[in-house]
Amino acid sequence: MTIPSALQGRLRLPVIGAPMFLVSSPKLVAAQCRAGIVGSMPALNARTSEQLDDWLAELTHELARPRIDDWVGGPAPFAINQIVARNNTRQAADLALLVKHKVPIVITSVGSPGEVVEAVHGYGGLVFHDVVSVRHAQKAAEAGVDGIVAVCAGAGGHGGTMNPFALINDIRSFFSGTLLLSGSLGSGKDILAAQVIGADLAYMGTRFLGSAECEIDDLYKQMILASNSDDIVYTDLFSGLRGNYLKKSIARTGLDPNALPPLPESGIGTGGHGEFKLWKDIWAAGQGVGAITDIPPVDVLIARLEDEYRSALSRCQALGVRL
C-alpha cells in the first residue's frame, strides 16, 4: 500500500469522496471529512473565484474546530478538484487561492497537472490526477503527481471505458505512488476489492448522491433511488466528452435515451436539449447507482460502509486469504 504520510492514521476508510460538478458542496465535503474520509468538490462549483475564497476559508475553519460527533481520529483532510483545461479561464486565479489556503489535496483533471504540482508541492500539499488511459497516466507520472485516479468504466460523469483490472495493472507497471480506483464503487466490499486488485484508495462519487447532506434536487434523488445500472446511458452528445447520465433525466428532455443522435460534426457537445441544460437538468450518475436504496446522513453511510468493509475482510480471512 502507498498511502501518503499526510493521510496515514487520518482515514476511517481508504476512501475519497469524488468531486461532483454542481453537486459537491462545502456542506457535503465537511460531512465526509468529519466522518473520516477525504471529502472533495470542484473549484468551479463556486460561481466565482471570490466565492471559492470564502468556501475555502469556511472549510478550513470548520474542520479545524473539533466537534463531539467527529470520527474518533478527527476530520480527514479535504480536497479540491482543479480543471486544468485551457478553456478554464479561472485556472490561474483559483490556483492562487488553493495555494493561499494551503489546500491539503488538489485533484487535477482534463489537462496537464505540471503547474499545479509545482505550486501545491511548494507548500507541502498533495496532487492527484484523473486519468482514463495509460497514456494519460504516464504523462501524470512524468509531471510528478503524488497519486493517479484511474477513472474506469461505469464512473459517473465523464467516466472512462477501461476495465479496472487492465488499467490498474498497467499503471502499476510504471507508477509506485498512490493509486485510486473510480468506477461503480458503491459498498464496503467494493472498497476492499479495489485494494485487492492494487489500488490504495477507493474514489466514490455516485454513492454520495444518496446522502442527506447532498444538496441536489429531490427529483434527482428519487431518480437515483429508482435506478440501476440499466438506467445509465454513456454518451458524448451533451459535453463532447463521453460520460454517464441517468436515462430518465434525458428522457424528460424529449430525447430518446436509447437512440440519441450523434455528436455534431463540430465535436462540441450540445450542453443540453431545448430548455434542459447539462448538469442542471440532465443528471450524471455511475453504473453503481443500484447500490443506493436510501438517503442516510453521511456519518451513517460511512459507518455502514465500514461495517461492510470489515465483513468483506473477515470473509477473505475465513477463506485463508492474507491481506
The 10s digit of each residue's pLDDT in 196-207 is: 999 999 999 999
Q: So where are the chain's domains?
A: 15-215+299-318, 219-277
Its pTM stands at: 0.95
Q: Tens digits of per-residue pLDDT, 257-311?
A: 999 998 887 878 889 888 999 999 999 999 999 999 999 999 999 999 999 999 9
Band the pLDDT of 180: cuts 50, 70, 90. very high
The yes-or-no verdict on residue 323 having pLDDT over 80 is: no
> Using the 8-state DSSP alphabet, how is residue 37 labeled?
S
Residues 210-268: tens digit of each pLDDT: 999 999 999 999 999 999 999 999 999 999 989 999 999 999 999 999 999 988 878 78
Q: Can you say whether the dihedral through the CA atoms of 207, 211, 214, 219 is positive or negative?
A: positive
Per CATH, which fold does 15-215+299-318 belong to?
A: TIM Barrel (3.20.20)
Query: CA-based Rg of the chain, rounded to a whole angstrom?
Result: 19
Residues, the chain: 323
Q: Would you say 23 and 35 are in contact if contact means Cβ atoms under 8 Å apart?
A: no
Instruction: Answer for the pair 261, 270: CB distance below 8 angstroms, yes or no.
Output: no
